């Protein structure tokens, strides 16, 4: 099957084409992503209405680009996968309605895909990872540890009880005047910083839980920054480096405790936008070496929002005979593990819950 993927859940307009080769190995034929950073940077964050309008303006062009890169056309597409949640409703509607129009006019079946499942299965596209594995999903809207036993078979082991780790990076960047997007700017500033200058708290560490908390860390950074006013460039670098180290330690601590619960898993997959952070990758790599685990971290371009992961998730589900009806509606909230109860406060400030 040759699958077209469409992603419009936040501030990237993306399209991709994936398939398998004759031996069944995953093949990424194209991956086109148009970022909206310039449209939102002056506001210090994503503005939903602006995002939706930008998706609408770019959608046709991005799909054409993805098809051209894959050296194919719609007549050769066997199915379309589109993000139908979670995310910003305006953006989801643009992608979903575009997909329905293509499906109806070209008689191509389509599937609405959970954005989180796209992240969860990215490693199967890039590294052909076998089930089961542990997934650390870290992004602007999520901080979760999930056991992945198969397609649609997910067990959430941990989540954040307040802010997502990506939100902590974004708000730290805003506090320190580093601009949007926060994560890459904090990491860049940390390059010249002393990560041992400030010792920030690690909320929930030592408690009998795998859940995470990052709101207290943000407060500690704000308090320390206020003590240093007026901030010098080196102060900002040291704050970023110390914050980044603390986050990496929190995530590694939670992952190590999750690893200890299972003897039938030896692979940790890290996905989501925050997975592109080099300090976090290095800390998780060290953790996996110490615990005889294999770390799978997708290429940077497939950590942030993209349509390749949506196309791949759709391909796996199409192969099971699944299809979506024309009455499918976008879902701003769509947990990956529907059986796990929500944690008080979890994700309420995030975008994709």
Backbone angles phi, psi at 305, to 5 degrees: -60, 135
| Residues 164, 221 within the same domain | yes
pTM above 0.85, yes or no: yes
Per-residue model confidence (pLDDT) at position 41: 72
Backbone angles phi, psi at 143, to 5 degrees: -140, 100
Q: Is residue 72 part of a domain?
A: yes
| Residues 34, 66 within the same domain | yes
| Residues 172, 38 within the same domain | no
Beta bridge partners of residue 155, listed in sequence order? 147
| Residues 56, 66 within the same domain | yes
Per-residue model confidence (pLDDT) at position 343: 64
Dist. CA 146–CA 155, nearest whole Å: 5
Q: How many other C-beta atoms lie within 10 A of the C-beta of residue 281? A: 17
Dist. CA 248–CA 279, nearest whole Å: 7
Q: How many other C-beta atoms lie within 10 A of the C-beta of residue 151? A: 17
**Two structure tokens written together for 144:** 């979760």
**Two structure tokens written together for 247:** 């986050």
| Residues 202, 142 within the same domain | yes
Alpha carbons within 13 A on the beta-carbon side of 31: 20
Q: Is residue 325 part of a domain?
A: no
Q: Is residue 193 part of a domain?
A: yes
- In contact, 57 and 289? CB cutoff 8 Å: no
| Residues 149, 118 within the same domain | no
Dist. CA 41–CA 56, nearest whole Å: 19
pLDDT in tens, the chain (353 residues): 999 999 999 889 999 999 999 999 999 999 999 987 777 777 777 888 888 999 999 999 999 999 999 999 999 999 999 999 999 999 999 999 999 999 999 999 999 999 999 999 999 999 999 999 999 999 888 899 999 999 999 999 999 999 999 999 999 999 999 987 889 999 999 999 999 999 999 988 878 889 999 989 999 999 999 999 999 999 999 999 999 999 999 999 999 999 999 999 999 999 998 999 999 999 999 999 999 999 999 998 999 899 999 999 999 999 999 999 999 999 999 998 877 666 655 444 433 33
Write the CA distances from 228 to 159, 189, 231, 234, 235, integer angstroms.
Answer: 33, 17, 6, 11, 8
Q: Is residue 260 part of a domain?
A: yes
Q: State the DSSP code for 188.
A: H
| Residues 145, 106 within the same domain | no
Beta bridge partners of residue 112, listed in sequence order? 82
| Residues 135, 223 within the same domain | yes
Write the CATH number for 110.
Answer: 3.30.420.40
Q: Is residue 291 part of a domain?
A: yes
Per-residue model confidence (pLDDT) at position 342: 65
Q: Is residue 345 part of a domain?
A: no
Total domains, the chain: 2
Give, to the nearest 10 degrees, the angle between helix 182-190 and helix 165-175. 70
**Two structure tokens written together for 321:** 């005979």
pLDDT digits (tens, 9 = 90+) for 50-93: 889 999 999 999 999 999 999 999 999 999 999 999 999 999 99
Element (H, E) at 235: helix 233-259
| Residues 154, 254 within the same domain | yes
Dist. CA 319–CA 188, nearest whole Å: 42
| Residues 59, 150 within the same domain | no
Q: Is residue 219 part of a domain?
A: yes
Dist. CA 104–CA 110, nearest whole Å: 10
- Range(s) of the domain holding residue 279: 131-301
Element (H, E) at 312: helix 308-318
Dist. CA 91–CA 95, nearest whole Å: 7
Per-residue model confidence (pLDDT) at position 11: 86
| Residues 150, 118 within the same domain | no
Q: Is residue 98 part of a domain?
A: yes
Per-residue model confidence (pLDDT) at position 351: 35
| Residues 209, 219 within the same domain | yes
């Amino acid at each position: 099957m040759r699958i077209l993927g469409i992603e419009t859940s936040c501030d990237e307009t993306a399209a991709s084409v994936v398939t398998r080769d004759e031996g069944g190995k995953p093949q990424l034929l194209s991956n086109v992503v148009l970022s909206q950073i310039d449209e939102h940077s002056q506001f210090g964050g994503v503005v939903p209405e602006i995002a939706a309008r930008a998706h609408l303006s770019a959608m046709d062009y991005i799909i054409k680009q993805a098809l051209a890169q894959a050296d194919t056309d719609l007549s050769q597409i066997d199915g379309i996968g589109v993000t139908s949640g979670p995310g910003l409703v305006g953006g989801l509607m643009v992608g979903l309605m575009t997909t329905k129009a293509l499906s109806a006019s070209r008689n191509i079946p389509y599937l609405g895909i959970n954005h989180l499942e796209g992240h969860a299965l990215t490693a199967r596209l890039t590294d052909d990872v076998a089930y089961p594995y542990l997934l650390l999903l870290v992004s602007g809207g999520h901080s979760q540890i999930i056991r992945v036993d198969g397609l649609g078979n997910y067990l959430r082991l941990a989540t954040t009880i307040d802010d997502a780790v990506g939100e902590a990076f974004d708000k730290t960047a805003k506090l320190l005047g580093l601009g949007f997007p926060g994560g890459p700017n904090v990491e860049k500033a940390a390059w010249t910083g002393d990560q041992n200058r400030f010792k920030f708290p690690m909320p929930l560490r030592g408690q009998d839980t795998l859940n995470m908390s990052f709101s207290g860390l943000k407060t500690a950074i704000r308090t320390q920054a206020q003590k240093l006013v007026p901030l010098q460039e080196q102060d900002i670098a040291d704050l970023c480096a110390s914050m980044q180290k603390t986050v990496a330690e929190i995530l590694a601590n939670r992952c190590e405790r999750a690893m200890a619960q299972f003897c039938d898993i030896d692979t940790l997959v890290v996905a989501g936008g925050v997975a592109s952070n080099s300090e976090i990758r290095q800390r998780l790599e060290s953790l996996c070496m110490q615990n005889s685990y294999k770390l799978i971290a997708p290429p940077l371009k497939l950590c942030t929002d993209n349509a390749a992961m949506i196309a791949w998730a759709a391909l796996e589900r199409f192969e099971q005979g699944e299809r979506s009806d024309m009455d499918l509606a976008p879902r701003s909230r769509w947990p990956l593990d529907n059986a796990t109860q929500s944690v008080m406060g979890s994700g309420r400030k995030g975008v994709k819950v």
